[in-house]
Structure 1
Amino acid sequence: MDLGKDRGLLPFTRTELECLRKCAMGKTDLQIGLELELTAGEVASVLNVVMLKLRVPNRLAGLAKAGRLGLVDQIDC
């Protein structure tokens, strides 16, 4: 998917976007993993890659930036 590339970011995979969106809904790594048939550790790794691609230091900053970019629904932090 080229959703990130259009914004000057590296492109995101479908799994990365799904994990990001579920994280934005407040789901834990374990919950996301159960839904996507991944381990909690794999989800954490995927989300770490997402944060690197978004060029942010942590998930909270990543969710805020993803909301501004329209990658996830706006959330109140």
Structure 2
Amino acid sequence: MRIISKEQLLNLRENYPAGCRVELLKMDDIQAPKIGTKGTVVGVDDIGSIMVRWDSGSSLSVAFGEDLCRRIHDDR
């Protein structure tokens, strides 16, 4: 796990506000949604994890420095 700076945390919160849509690009977890799964951001916690409500029903967070997602413009 990487340590996140205050600046990086602020940047994440600005770029991934609650309600925005994301697509999963990489997650190394046995319970991870499939790559390409879309979801809605719930928020960004204090360690930089992007909390997501995935369309598949999962709620695994995107871990800062480990997993990858990208913001998308999707009306579902």
Fold shared by both chains (TM-score > 0.5):
no
Of Structure 1 and Structure 2, the greater helix share is in 1
Taking structure 1 as the reference length, the TM-score comes to 0.29
Of Structure 1 and Structure 2, the greater strand share is in 2
Q: Which has the higher contact order (CA 8 A, sep 6+)?
A: 2
